[in-house]
Amino acid sequence: MARRSCDLAERERGGKARAWWLYMVRTKTGALYTGITTDVARRFLEHASGGARAARYLRGNAPAAVVFRKRIGPKALAAKVEWRVKRLVRAKKEAIVAAGRLRVDRVTGDVRVAM
């Protein structure tokens, strides 16, 4: 039997699928880390604790603050958007943070800095 996604299983239980968020964390050294989660505040605390659930990158680069967050929707789309944002040059990531907006194509996951 094929494995079901968490979103589908949750919908079948009568609940709504949780929305996934793209977020960026600025480290104390000024670097940007990008990730996805269903709960940005919880995930930031996990990163800040430096424990087993923290991203490896952030274990050596202490996170200072969440500088950007955007509700994306389903996990599959959020993963596509994360992959594309992580491949942007630093200047484009900084532009996203400065503008506070990011345009996302809901079908392909393509991203553009919203000016």
Domain-located, residue 1: no
pTM: 0.83
Which domain does 75 fall in, by range?
6-113
- pLDDT (tens, 9 = 90+) of the chain, 115 residues, equals 344 445 554 454 556 778 999 999 999 999 999 999 999 999 999 999 988 899 999 988 889 999 999 999 999 999 999 999 999 999 999 999 999 999 999 888 889 887 6
Alpha-carbon distance 21 to 36, whole Å?
A: 5
User: 41, 55, 58, 106: which is closest to 80 by C-alpha?
Assistant: 106
Domain-located, residue 37: yes
CATH of the domain at 109: 3.40.1440
Cβ(78)–Cβ(38) under 8 Å?
Answer: no
Q: What is the tally of structural domains in the chain?
A: 1
